[in-house]
Chain A
């Protein structure tokens, strides 16, 4: 009886330890397996480690089974100390391996964030006497209608439920933040839900420059979402081989804060679309101007608007907009903020760039000014940030900034040549992991480095570029257009269709989706400098502009009708005489977006009466300010002529303006 009671005790412990060893061994294999596609000889060690784990476990299992059999048959307590020790050592080694692999993998893969924090705020105008959420009573509150928007709908809905806002207030749904903000400013709305990061996004839009001073946050709520659940982009890129051509969208995030774990959406200022063909090592690079007037994919009806306005609707919206417009699928994205760029360039030991002109901008913390000099320079992180950010000192503004950003990227690619090993490459990535986010997996990033490493090992990129970059340029012209959502006239960059087509062709060619023309002849001369061609720059015969509703005000009925006929617009008049004092459709609205006719309201006075009235008023004013006597009739005629000229000029300017003076800063 005594023996019987002792037997199972030893057996249970042995079985339990074996089971723990099995679990630990399996989990160790799983953790080690995650490193399989790393470069160099790492995969071989991984397979060897897995092999040893399996073999050792099988040996242990064999010994345990034998001991247990012996114990059962001999009916006595056998010595099992040695076996216990082996099992405990096996488990300890397994646990250490798990912890170690977890540490290394997190270190290597921290730039692909698993969770992202979305933050939504209930905001109102500063003048409103509302300090906390319980003060929100009898308000009309705006919320986005898009049910998939984390910060525009999901979090706001939770807040509405939590604080019972629906009971005392009216909740009004909107298609866009712009419309909502416009209604908040015009006091049609009392408060609205918006992404907490709204100030930097809106402050770059004309009319909202002082949004930070004009509005206040009543309540903010943050919520963590698994990135793979909120974005289809996270899942689609997984498992994709980087040996096949792919596209990547680089987005600069206008944020001086440390960290990119929040949904810090890029404000669309820095958008660079790259295609890369790992077979031919060819790349195309396109800087997309922030004011590009393109269809916004996530808005109902996909209306055209500035591409930068898509930024407030998240990375997916921005990527879909670009995909639709340039007819390519974007496989990967990478976001980096100010600090990230500074850290990356510093970790690389600086970059060598030909700076086009002297530039000065705030540093990455907006704490002081950093200046860089024209000419060939070795730039540190802050210097590279100045070159990437500054547009106000450039003649061609945002377009020039895009070109400078490409210079920085090219210089960084060249700098990869100086990285000696994949571990050094990972270390560099680790320094920016907090300020960099991407849907690349660790394996994919390491694969790129592996190609570069093989090229360098063969001395194939010492004197030539590591990657051959074809620069693309979206040609276009500026035009002031009435924005339905923002309800104001804004400066837009209207791309030339032929330029867009050339860009699409170049990208598809590089991606291997269309056939390429093979160059079969070559010539060169030491006295002829070689200049790379830029695709998309033209020259193109066709311009790019929309026909816009002219300003009818101040014109007589006949003049207004003639102008309407000239533009092919149907107009109806309210009133029978006088000049146009109001038009039902705002000036500079796109004519192709008109439905029905425009109603023009006429003043009841005749044109002559108006002229007289104007001249009388002017005369009176003049009499007040000057002692000189003037011929009132002459002045009236002159003033009228001037008015007409101004009107005509105004219309012309709106049609053809391509100056950037009026554009948003």
Chain B
């Protein structure tokens, strides 16, 4: 026996309503609207261990391309090399806005292995201490963004560290600027010291 049209209609309406409610509920609750941010390496200079990630800011990405050019030449201009990594370090370390969490400390590619642990610990306790987690893109903090770095004097100096000596170490003076209204009172100049280790230059000291 066939159902009456009105009964059929009621059943269909009932089904539509129930399924709509279920579908709306699933949409609201099931699909994670917070997108987890996952940083991925977009480019790297393998023989030097330098990388650039998609989450890093444009200034860094631009200077990284310049570094790739410098290091891809047969005879590397070390002055240019040290200037480029000085810029990259400052952009990455002092730009806090593109960091996913306080543990995401910038510039660590350029810091000497022997110093790295202390460097990371000190950065976490000081400059990065209150950088909020942005793994889910929910951060509302205003954080510094370095827009440009000026490299001043570059000098060859003798540098002693941990019972070692580099007679051709580099002393680099740098100044930098931030995006407006993101970094009031933040540091804008520093002197960096780089030493040779194999073919690479490593940052061993940063003076205010």
A461 to B124, CA, bound (A): 12
The 0/1 profile, CB within 8 Å of A marked 1, for residues 109-135 of chain B is 000101111111111111101111101
With a cutoff of 8 Å between Cβ atoms, the chain A residues found around residue B204 in the complex are 525-526
Which one, B39, B161, B187, contacts A526 given CB within 8 A? B161
A65 to B116, CA, bound (A): 72
A460 adjacent to chain B (CB < 8 Å): yes
Given contacts A69-B1, A280-B133, contact A530 B118 (CB under 8 A): yes
A524 to B89, CA, bound (A): 14
Q: Which of B101, B125, B131, B186 has the most CB of A within 10 A?
A: B101
With a cutoff of 8 Å between Cβ atoms, the chain B residues found around residue A62 in the complex are 11, 15
With a cutoff of 8 Å between Cβ atoms, the chain B residues found around residue A527 in the complex are 161-162, 205
With a cutoff of 8 Å between Cβ atoms, the chain B residues found around residue A523 in the complex are 190, 206-208
Tell me the B159-190 residues at the A interface (CB within 8 Å). Answer: 161-162, 183, 185-187, 190
Q: Which of A54, A464, A526 has the most CB of B within 10 A?
A: A526
A520 adjacent to chain B (CB < 8 Å): yes
Question: How close is A466's CB to chain B, nearest CB, in angstroms?
Answer: 7
With a cutoff of 8 Å between Cβ atoms, the chain A residues found around residue B190 in the complex are 523
A378 adjacent to chain B (CB < 8 Å): no
Which one, A47, A65, A466, A525, contacts B30 given CB within 8 A? A47
With a cutoff of 8 Å between Cβ atoms, the chain A residues found around residue B127 in the complex are 519-522
B46 adjacent to chain A (CB < 8 Å): no
A73 adjacent to chain B (CB < 8 Å): yes
A451 adjacent to chain B (CB < 8 Å): yes
B: contact size bracket: 35 or more
A455 touches B103 (CB 8 A): yes
Question: How close is B56's CB to chain A, nearest CB, in angstroms?
Answer: 13
B126 touches A69 (CB 8 A): no
B61 adjacent to chain A (CB < 8 Å): no
Question: How close is B93's CB to chain A, nearest CB, in angstroms?
Answer: 8
With a cutoff of 8 Å between Cβ atoms, the chain A residues found around residue B123 in the complex are 522
Among residues of B, the one whose C-beta sits closest to the C-beta of A41 is B32
With a cutoff of 8 Å between Cβ atoms, the chain A residues found around residue B161 in the complex are 526-527
A280 touches B114 (CB 8 A): no
Question: How close is B43's CB to chain A, nearest CB, in angstroms?
Answer: 16
A44 to B31, CA, bound (A): 7
A459 to B117, CA, bound (A): 15
A455 touches B206 (CB 8 A): no
B22 adjacent to chain A (CB < 8 Å): yes
The interface size of chain A toward B, counting residues with CB under 8 Å, comes to: 49
A51 adjacent to chain B (CB < 8 Å): yes
A524 touches B1 (CB 8 A): no
Which one, A55, A279, A282, A530, contacts B122 given CB within 8 A? A530
B91 adjacent to chain A (CB < 8 Å): no
A628 adjacent to chain B (CB < 8 Å): no
A525 to B118, CA, bound (A): 9
B19 adjacent to chain A (CB < 8 Å): yes
Which one, A43, A58, A465, contacts B103 given CB within 8 A? A465
With a cutoff of 8 Å between Cβ atoms, the chain A residues found around residue B135 in the complex are 451, 454-455, 458
Question: How close is A355's CB to chain B, nearest CB, in angstroms?
Answer: 19
Question: How close is B135's CB to chain A, nearest CB, in angstroms?
Answer: 5
B102 adjacent to chain A (CB < 8 Å): yes
Which one, A55, A459, A466, A519, contacts B19 given CB within 8 A? A55
B207 touches A460 (CB 8 A): no
Q: Which of B22, B112, B129 has the most CB of A within 10 A?
A: B129
A519 touches B129 (CB 8 A): yes
With a cutoff of 8 Å between Cβ atoms, the chain A residues found around residue B104 in the complex are 458, 460
A468 touches B162 (CB 8 A): no
Among residues of A, the one whose C-beta sits closest to the C-beta of B159 is A526
The 0/1 profile, CB within 8 Å of B marked 1, for residues 56-91 of chain A is 001000100110011001100000000000000000
A530 to B103, CA, bound (A): 17
B146 adjacent to chain A (CB < 8 Å): no
A232 adjacent to chain B (CB < 8 Å): no
Question: How close is B41's CB to chain A, nearest CB, in angstroms?
Answer: 9
B207 touches A51 (CB 8 A): no
The 0/1 profile, CB within 8 Å of A marked 1, for residues 83-106 of chain B is 000000000010000001111110
A466 to B101, CA, bound (A): 10
A356 to B16, CA, bound (A): 69
B1 touches A455 (CB 8 A): no
B129 touches A457 (CB 8 A): no
With a cutoff of 8 Å between Cβ atoms, the chain B residues found around residue A357 in the complex are none
With a cutoff of 8 Å between Cβ atoms, the chain B residues found around residue A48 in the complex are 30
B199 adjacent to chain A (CB < 8 Å): no
B206 touches A465 (CB 8 A): no
A44 touches B30 (CB 8 A): yes
B121 touches A460 (CB 8 A): no
B18 adjacent to chain A (CB < 8 Å): yes
B130 touches A518 (CB 8 A): yes
Q: Which of A62, A281, A451, A458 has the most CB of B within 10 A?
A: A458
A520 touches B129 (CB 8 A): no
With a cutoff of 8 Å between Cβ atoms, the chain B residues found around residue A522 in the complex are 93, 122-123, 126-127, 187, 206, 208
Question: How close is A72's CB to chain B, nearest CB, in angstroms?
Answer: 9
With a cutoff of 8 Å between Cβ atoms, the chain B residues found around residue A466 in the complex are 103
With a cutoff of 8 Å between Cβ atoms, the chain A residues found around residue B26 in the complex are 47, 51
A463 to B113, CA, bound (A): 11
With a cutoff of 8 Å between Cβ atoms, the chain B residues found around residue A127 in the complex are none
A278 adjacent to chain B (CB < 8 Å): yes
A643 adjacent to chain B (CB < 8 Å): no
A420 adjacent to chain B (CB < 8 Å): no
Question: How close is B52's CB to chain A, nearest CB, in angstroms?
Answer: 14
A621 adjacent to chain B (CB < 8 Å): no
A238 adjacent to chain B (CB < 8 Å): no
Which one, A278, A282, A526, A529, contacts B129 given CB within 8 A? A282
Given contacts A47-B30, A451-B135, A524-B119, contact A464 B129 (CB under 8 A): no
A468 touches B125 (CB 8 A): yes
Given contacts A464-B105, A524-B115, A530-B122, contact A280 B1 (CB under 8 A): no
A524 touches B130 (CB 8 A): no
A55 to B16, CA, bound (A): 11
A43 to B28, CA, bound (A): 12
A516 adjacent to chain B (CB < 8 Å): yes
Question: How close is A299's CB to chain B, nearest CB, in angstroms?
Answer: 39
A532 adjacent to chain B (CB < 8 Å): yes
Question: How close is A37's CB to chain B, nearest CB, in angstroms?
Answer: 11
Which one, B22, B32, B101, contacts A51 given CB within 8 A? B22
Question: How close is A302's CB to chain B, nearest CB, in angstroms?
Answer: 36
Given contacts A520-B186, A521-B187, A522-B126, contact A460 B103 (CB under 8 A): yes
Which one, A70, A458, A516, A521, contacts B130 given CB within 8 A? A516
With a cutoff of 8 Å between Cβ atoms, the chain A residues found around residue B112 in the complex are 526
With a cutoff of 8 Å between Cβ atoms, the chain B residues found around residue A457 in the complex are 38
B117 touches A455 (CB 8 A): no
A482 to B19, CA, bound (A): 73
Which one, B37, B124, B133, contacts A451 given CB within 8 A? B133
B121 touches A532 (CB 8 A): yes
With a cutoff of 8 Å between Cβ atoms, the chain B residues found around residue A525 in the complex are 204-207
Tell me the B129-170 residues at the A interface (CB within 8 Å). Answer: 129-133, 135, 161-162
A280 touches B120 (CB 8 A): no
A526 to B120, CA, bound (A): 12
Tell me the A225-282 residues at the B interface (CB within 8 Å). Answer: 278-282
23 of the cross-chain contacts (CB-CB < 8 Å) are A36-B29, A43-B29, A47-B30, A51-B22, A58-B15, A74-B1, A280-B102, A282-B130, A455-B101, A457-B38, A458-B104, A460-B104, A463-B117, A463-B120, A464-B103, A465-B103, A468-B102, A468-B103, A522-B127, A523-B206, A524-B205, A525-B207, A530-B119
In the A-B complex, list the 10 residue pairs whose CB atoms are closest, starting with the nearest: A47-B30, A526-B204, A519-B126, A73-B1, A530-B118, A464-B120, A526-B115, A521-B187, A525-B205, A279-B132
* Given A454-B135, A524-B206, A525-B207: 15 more A-B contacts, CB < 8 Å: A47-B29, A55-B22, A58-B15, A66-B3, A280-B130, A458-B39, A463-B116, A464-B124, A466-B103, A521-B187, A522-B187, A526-B204, A527-B161, A530-B118, A532-B125
